[in-house]
Amino acid sequence: MPALCLCFEVHEPYQLRRYTVFDMGQNSLYEDDDRNCETLLRAARLCYLPANELMLRLIRRHKGAFCLALSISGTALDLFEQYAPEVLDSFKALAATGCVEFLGETSAHSLAFLYSRQEFERQVRAQAARLQSLFGAKPVSFKHTECIYNNDLAAALPRLGFKTVLAEGADHLLGWRSPNCLYRPAGAPRMRLLLRNAGLSADMGRRFGDRSWNDWPLTADKFATWCRGLADTAQVVTLCNDYHLLGLRFSKDTGVFDFMEALPKAILADSNFRWSTPAAASAALQPVGEVDAPQFLSWEEEGRDLTSWLGNDMQKDAIHALYSLTPRVRRCADADLTRDFERLQTADHFACMSTKWFAHPATDRPNPFASPYDAYITYMNVLADFEMRLDAADRARAAKTRAARRAAAADAPPAVPETGKRRRKETRTRIAKPRAASAAPEQA
């Protein structure tokens, strides 16, 4: 009986304001609060609230036969708490059904794994603890930022408590093999690997509103028929998309909500199919083989690589400059600096510098900058001010250390001079030493 896993990425970044050289050293407020508030409230109204209401209704209607997985970034949780707590409450209502699995990821939706394993582990542990606190369950399945994956990532996850990892089912990774099976990552025999069905995911997440597409309009019955065509060979079909497709990428007028409402029933009409979560599918199935991914891949549409975030010199310069500050930030242990450092790691900042990104803009995630060069200049100005704050924190910490040493020296009892000790010891030695007998007089 093939399983169908429906996974959505829930992510909202903190967008930077126009930050110039004249702000450096004068103003350390980096984020555009008005834009962040406006963007989040619009997303809540058009996407998150109606989509969560729909998912809750479907779970109750099908009495647990329908389930899904959500990967929520830490920055999205911060923005929900700050501007739209009702959205967070709606996710908690979904969690209370027991039919939603919350996937682990980095708290900052970052690329930390590529540059600092220690920072990566710290973010993943913090995000897992937060998800457990909010939704009552510790995540056991992991989806990295933008579905980035390689062998090293799979090997690093078991010690963080994960059993399953999601990745892109790219053709160059699989060759003749199917993405619709459970695999074992190379070098991580205890882990299970679920691969995203790129074709069906794009049908739902990219081509749904494309009137030039040969299969437009996409209906739930048509989509279910395509899934049923995989029944003889598939173990599990993994659909993974941005939650923005519901209401933001495709407006309600396109019928995307109607499609989503009809899809669970259309799939369940075939008794050979069932809905599942990544954790449940991995526990119920046996891997059919091993997948070796020595190079990084992602769900980026054109090359399935990292060029959307690291494709030009501006992006590489910015991200290397950022992560070079990691040891200093951790030594500093300042809450404000730590928060800003995490938010500066969000992958969206580097995507804004991409020339590829500007060639193919995402309608649901508009770039706040006029060009990639404006994005780069703004980011580097922010980073320069951030480094000034680090320098000031280092100086304050050094001054505090020197003051503590002076205070400790002032409180210590006076030390006895070393020369005085030596003289008293030599005196005692001379007093205690017995007198030698006088020599006999020399005979004439």
Provide the residue range defining the domain that includes 333.
313-404
Instruction: Out of 227, 260, 291, pick the residue that ends a domain.
Output: 291
| In-domain check, residue 437 | no
Please name the helix (run of DSSP H) or strand (run of DSSP E) that holds residue 250, with its range, or none: none
Helices 220-228 and 256-268 pack at an angle, to 10 degrees, of 40
Helices 313-323 and 372-411 pack at an angle, to 10 degrees, of 10
| In-domain check, residue 308 | no
140 & 240 share domain: yes
Give the up-direction half-sphere exposure of residue 266: CA atoms within 13 A in the CB hemisphere.
16
| In-domain check, residue 303 | no
271 & 325 share domain: no
Helix, strand, coil percentages (3-state) for the chain, rounded to 5, are 50, 10, 35
| In-domain check, residue 380 | yes
260 & 335 share domain: no
273 & 321 share domain: no
How many beta carbons lie within 10 A of that of residue 158, not counting itself? 14
Catalytic positions, written as ranges: 146
Strands (E), 32-111: 68-72, 100-102
249 & 157 share domain: yes
| In-domain check, residue 120 | yes
Closest CA to 170 of 195, 143, 140: 195
Under 8 Å between Cβ of 228 and 273: yes
280 & 329 share domain: no
For the chain, 444 residues long, give each residue's pLDDT as a single digit of tens. 899 999 999 999 999 999 999 999 999 999 999 999 999 999 999 999 999 999 999 999 999 999 999 999 999 999 999 999 999 999 999 999 999 999 999 999 999 999 999 999 999 999 999 999 999 999 999 999 999 999 999 999 999 999 999 999 999 999 999 999 999 999 999 999 999 999 999 999 999 999 999 999 999 999 999 999 999 999 999 999 999 999 999 999 999 999 999 999 999 999 989 999 999 999 999 999 999 999 999 998 778 999 999 999 999 999 999 999 999 999 988 999 999 999 999 999 999 999 885 555 667 888 999 999 999 999 999 999 999 999 999 998 888 888 888 888 887 777 666 555 555 555 555 555 554 444 444 443
86 & 41 share domain: yes
15 & 121 share domain: yes
Region for 438 from its dihedrals, namely left if φ exceeds 0, alpha if ψ lies in -120 to 50, beta otherwise:
beta
Three-state DSSP at 290 gives strand
353 & 273 share domain: no
Number of domains in the chain: 2
Give the residue ranges of DSSP H helices in 136-272. 151-156, 171-174, 198-205, 220-228, 256-268
Three-state DSSP at 269 gives coil
pTM, full prediction: 0.89
Under 8 Å between Cβ of 351 and 308: yes
| In-domain check, residue 424 | no
244 & 330 share domain: no
140 & 92 share domain: yes
Instruction: Find tokens 């054109």 and name the residue.
Output: 302
201 & 100 share domain: yes
| In-domain check, residue 416 | no
| In-domain check, residue 305 | no
Closest CA to 51 of 282, 310, 255, 243: 243
**β-pair type (182-185, 192-196):** antiparallel
CATH code of the domain in which 136 resides: 3.20.110.20
